[in-house]
Structures are given as structure tokens and as C-alpha cells.
Amino acid sequence: MRKSLLKRPHYAAAASAGVLALASVFVHPFGAVKANSNAPLLAGANVDPAVVRILEKSCQNCHSERTEWPWYSYVAPASWLIENDVNQGRSHMNLSRWDEYDTRKQHDLLAELAAVVRNRRMPLSRYILLHPGSQPFPAGFERIYQWTRTERRRLTLSAQTRVAPRLRMGPPASNAGHAGVPYSHK
């Protein structure tokens, strides 16, 4: 007489693990994080191609919609941890949606990015552990830092030139007084 699979603990454990692994492919607590796009990084920014290459290597997997998903990102619980990191990274700064940020937000993100690279707080150590070639060399950190300073200056000057003409011109000429009532010249 054959023993049932449930009476053999190692078969039952393997079957349970297989069912759990298969089910985990369909469970995504952070939504459709794995939806990617081909949007360019930092659209609308004045950025050196060398800086873009560093950001592609070190930042795009968590801070853009051009994430390269490794095989283990499809198996729970690793998938949930990775999806959480990507979700948080994109919600903080999404390089694929750079042109959707207003100038003030871009300026603030550049200031934050400058501080993070200056203090070597990114990429995260757990990311570097899984992607050994992702950490920029010191010259790469410096290049990103210098670019953030240059781009912040450019944004500031651009904002000033948009505001300055209006300040020089003053209010529009009109013979209207308060609330649009014409002045009387008696």
C-alpha cells in the first residue's frame, strides 16, 4: 500500500514551499511597482552624460521606472523587501518623472542628493551587497555632487530671469482705480 504524500513530511514541506513560492509571485503589497517605462532619466535637466551613466549604474533601480528586476525579486519575502525599497525610493525621488517636479522641488531634491552623495549615504549598503559594482568611485560621487551644484545654480538663475522682467515692468498701465472704477479727473 502506498503512503500518502501528507504522511511523508519532507514531501509535504516541499509541496507547501512550492505552493507558497508560486502564490508569492501574485502577491504585491506595494501595488504595481514592477511596471517600467523607458522615460529618460532627468528629462528637462541639463546633465552631463557621464553623470547619467553613474546614476543609471547606482540610482536608477530604486529611483526611476527603469528598474532591472533580478530573479529573486519575484519570490517572497525577498520580493516584498525589494518592492518596498523601490516604492520608497521612487516616492522620494523619481528620476523618470523629473520633468513633472516644479523648479522648487527639483532644487530641493538636488540639494538633498548633494548631501547624500557628499556623505556617501547612497546607494544603501544592502543594495551594494547585492549589486557590487553599483557604488560609484570617489570621482563619481564628486561628479554627481558638482553637477547638483551646477544644476541648482541654473535653476535659480532660470527662476530669476522669469521673475525679473515682471518686476522691472511694474503693474500694467491702466486708468482704472480701486476695483476697476475709473479715476475721476475733476
> In the chain, where are the structural domains located?
10-164
Res. 126: pLDDT tops 80? yes
What's the CA gap between 143 and 151, in Å, rounded? 12
Closest Cα to residue 162, out of 118, 103, 121, 106? 103
- Range in 111-115, 154-158, 182-186 with the lowest mean pLDDT: 182-186
Closest Cα to residue 135, out of 143, 145, 127? 127
Position 184 scores a pLDDT of: 47
pTM over 0.75: no
- DSSP helix/strand/coil, 176: strand
- DSSP helix/strand/coil, 182: strand
What's the CA gap between 68 and 42, in Å, rounded? 18
Most confident range, picked from 39-48, 124-133, 161-170: 39-48
What's the CA gap between 143 and 51, in Å, rounded? 7
Percent of the chain with pLDDT over 70: 68
Position 75 scores a pLDDT of: 82
Per-residue DSSP letter, 95: G
